[in-house]
Structure 1
Amino acid sequence: MGKVYAIINQKGGVGKTTTVFNMAAEMAEQGKKVLTIDMDPQGSLTTSMGQVPSELEYTIGDLFMELIDRKPLPDIKDYILSRGKVEYIPANLALSVADASIQRVIVAREYLLKKIIAPLRSLYDYIIIDCPPTLGSLVVNALTASDALIVPIKANDMDTKGFDSLIDTVEMIKIETNPSLKIEGVLLTMFDERLLEARDVLKTLEGSCEYFSIPIYRAKIGTSTKAARAFRQRKTIAEFDINSKISLSYKEFVREVLADE
């Protein structure tokens, strides 16, 4: 059965989508069968994959609505697209409609995504969920469906209150809907060790993670104009410049993730 990861931080701009995009591509390069799921109504991951979200006929939001309307789950293969070796279920603003509609599900509303993923687990080595920057019903669904989560944290903007809030949410999920959920690790992004601010963030983060017994990945994703340029061109960082420092950092990060299996 494939392992399901949620990539999550309730703050935007910390590199969640970039991490999902590059993590999935590197796993696929190493021979793993990977599915990503875009759970952000803005469709950033979908855009990264080369799609125009508003033009898509089938999205994750439509799958949610089928379940919300108490209809049988359709053939999910119709909803899966591919980019190179990576497959994905896209999202667009229809997911916002589904998010609002989740509230009228009286029983087990937290398990909708888990139902969608259930028939896919045996088909993939890894399923990676790109979560929206909130702690609302879509994220609750993602955490209920996941085995583990990875938290990207921006090196120059450490918000310990936000991190503590995320940990509280995870503990609530463990009690209510998913007792086996764990935080697999924290990934530091946009890290420049030359900057005092970045070193201070790392020190603060090390203290918080030690208190909660959460690992910090040795790989740290640096700052680079190449990352932004690659994103604008809908390329992974390895496709843009395979020998760049940031590309090598993502390779090291994926090696750590796979070594923990």
Structure 2
Amino acid sequence: MSETTIRINERIRRNAENIASALENHMLSVFAPDARKELRLFSAGEAADLLGISTSFLRKLHFEDKIHEVQTSGGGRRFYSAQDLASIRSHLDSGAKVPGSYLKGRRAGDKVQVLSFLNFKGGSGKTTSTVHAAQRLALKGYRVLCVDIDPQASLTTLFGYRPEVDFLTTGTIYDAIKYDDPVPLAQVIQKTFFHGIDLAPAGLILQEFEHETPRALMNNVQPAFFSRMAMALAEVEAAYDLILFDCPPQLGYLTMSALCASTGLLITVVPNMLDVASMSQFLQMSADLLDVVSDAGAPMEYDFMRFLINRMEPNDGPQQQVVAFLRNLFGKEVMTNAMLKSTAISDAGLTHQTIYEVERSQFHRNTYDRALESLNGVNDELESLIQAAWGR
């Protein structure tokens, strides 16, 4: 059959099969068959930074046998696992004058913080922002649940799963929010390779929620779509400090259900005028739809909303002008720190990894350090917003 007469459905199916096969081969070249990702070890300097202490104090703790010994290299350098950090953090907090000085998660009376990362446009860095925030905060001792509600399941893939194989028809967040025979959310939550992070996975089956909801609305099926996610989260929230949504790049029922369950909102925006114009439409549509679900009884009270500048190039004059425009327009609702556009972040993504997973030695030192400083700045600012929401 010639190219001009081939059926488009056949062409698309062939392309889908080819890319699926290529991705499978790529994953097998990156990870051994049936292997799961493992988190690297951290140097003493990295460990001290994450614990909020000096390297000399960390050495002192070892010298005085107040913490257990960790893995050492042939030259005597110490390396710490995420589990080691959690153990040391607990020891530090047990001896602190003010409880919670090192364990900064929820305390009695604190509500779980549920944050949605979203934008109307693809390519605005939602998934990158979500996964780096989750990992930085987990390394600082928070208990994190990531909820992937994008049927494309990029966040799920970054945690080492193959959605098209592992969660083709079952095992996703869809199972917990579907209208017919939903299961407890705890049954679909997966432990991840990253200490402190659990995952409610996504897969293409999630698209069914978008198809089923109009019929459910017509038949007045209860609970309504905007309550189902919040009800599912309520079953497990006691186990977590933070719940992070990676939303799809459209304002559908999945995104709306996440917004109705959230306590904070991060809108990612790339600083160019086309993206800003798209965001304007997105915000107007969001407001109109949220009016409708608010009138239907959905809670709409947030602790904070912020615009997160993404893929920022500091030496790009037009981008600087757009950022200045946004800051003038939205004031403190634009985060002080911006996420830089970095080859280190994109190169790490080639192997389905993040900056917090890769070794510094794999990159040019300055490139890695700039990316890490940018990500830490964004995520530490986010942490301060979370702490402020808890009244600290």
TM-score (norm 2): 0.61
Q: Contact (CA 8 Å) 2:175, 2:188: kept in 1 or not?
A: no
Q: Report the alpha carbon displacement of residue 56 of structure 1 after superposing the two structures with TM.
A: 2.2
CA distance 1:173–1:83, shift in 2 (3 Å): farther
Residue identity opposite 1:2 in structure 2: V
Work out the percentage of aligned pairs sharing the same amino acid: 25
Q: Contact (CA 8 Å) 1:143, 1:170: kept in 2 or not?
A: no
1:15 to 2:136 alignment: no
CA distance 1:105–1:62, shift in 2 (3 Å): same
Distance across 2 between alignment mates of 1:230 and 1:91: 22
* RCO higher in structure (CA 8 A, sep ≥6): 1
Give ranges in structure 2 of 5+ residues lacking alignment: 1-110, 361-367, 388-392
Give the count of matched residue pairs: 254
Q: Which residue of structure 2 aligns with residue 25 of structure 1?
A: 135
Correspondence 1:112-261 to 2 at 5 A:
112-156=228-272, 158-168=274-284, 169-170=286-287, 172-173=289-290, 175-176=294-295, 177-181=298-302, 183-210=304-331, 215-241=333-359, 244-260=369-385, 261=387
Q: Which residue of structure 1 aligns with residue 188 of structure 2?
A: 79
Secondary structure of 1:159's aligned partner: helix
Q: Report the alpha carbon displacement of residue 23 of structure 1 after superposing the two structures with TM.
A: 0.4
Distance across 1 between alignment mates of 2:288 and 2:233: 22
Correspondence 1:95-106 to 2 at 5 A:
95-106=206-217
Residue identity opposite 1:230 in structure 2: A
Secondary structure of 2:333's aligned partner: coil
Secondary structure of 1:238's aligned partner: coil
Correspondence 1:41-80 to 2 at 5 A:
41-57=151-167, 58-65=171-178, 68-69=179-180, 71=181, 73-80=182-189
Q: Contact (CA 8 Å) 1:103, 1:109: kept in 2 or not?
A: no
CA distance 1:171–1:124, shift in 2 (3 Å): farther
Q: Contact (CA 8 Å) 1:40, 1:95: kept in 2 or not?
A: yes
Distance across 1 between alignment mates of 2:345 and 2:327: 26
Give ranges in structure 1 of 5+ residues lacking alignment: none
Distance across 1 between alignment mates of 2:317 and 2:377: 24
Q: Report the alpha carbon displacement of residue 208 of structure 1 after superposing the two structures with TM.
A: 2.9
| CA displacement 1:27-55 (0-9 Å, x = unmatched) | 00000000000010000101111110012
Q: Report the alpha carbon displacement of residue 228 of structure 1 after superposing the two structures with TM.
A: 1.1
Distance across 2 between alignment mates of 1:156 and 1:188: 10
Q: Report the alpha carbon displacement of residue 166 of structure 1 after superposing the two structures with TM.
A: 3.4
Q: Report the alpha carbon displacement of residue 198 of structure 1 after superposing the two structures with TM.
A: 0.9
Distance across 2 between alignment mates of 1:6 and 1:203: 25
Distance across 1 between alignment mates of 2:165 and 2:273: 35
Q: Report the alpha carbon displacement of residue 163 of structure 1 after superposing the two structures with TM.
A: 2.4
Q: Which residue of structure 1 aligns with residue 73 of structure 2?
A: none
Secondary structure of 2:322's aligned partner: helix
Residue identity opposite 1:79 in structure 2: V
Q: Report the alpha carbon displacement of residue 244 of structure 1 after superposing the two structures with TM.
A: 2.2
CA RMSD of aligned residues (A): 1.9
Larger Rg: 2
Distance across 2 between alignment mates of 1:165 and 1:112: 27
Distance across 2 between alignment mates of 1:241 and 1:13: 25
Residue identity opposite 1:142 in structure 2: A
Q: Contact (CA 8 Å) 1:3, 1:121: kept in 2 or not?
A: no
Distance across 1 between alignment mates of 2:209 and 2:289: 23
CA distance 1:30–1:158, shift in 2 (3 Å): farther
Q: Which residue of structure 1 aligns with residue 72 of structure 2?
A: none
CA distance 1:202–1:97, shift in 2 (3 Å): same
CA distance 1:235–1:45, shift in 2 (3 Å): same
Secondary structure of 2:265's aligned partner: strand
- List, as ranges, runs of 4+ consecutive aligned residues in structure 1 with deviation greater than 6 Å: none
Distance across 2 between alignment mates of 1:170 and 1:114: 20
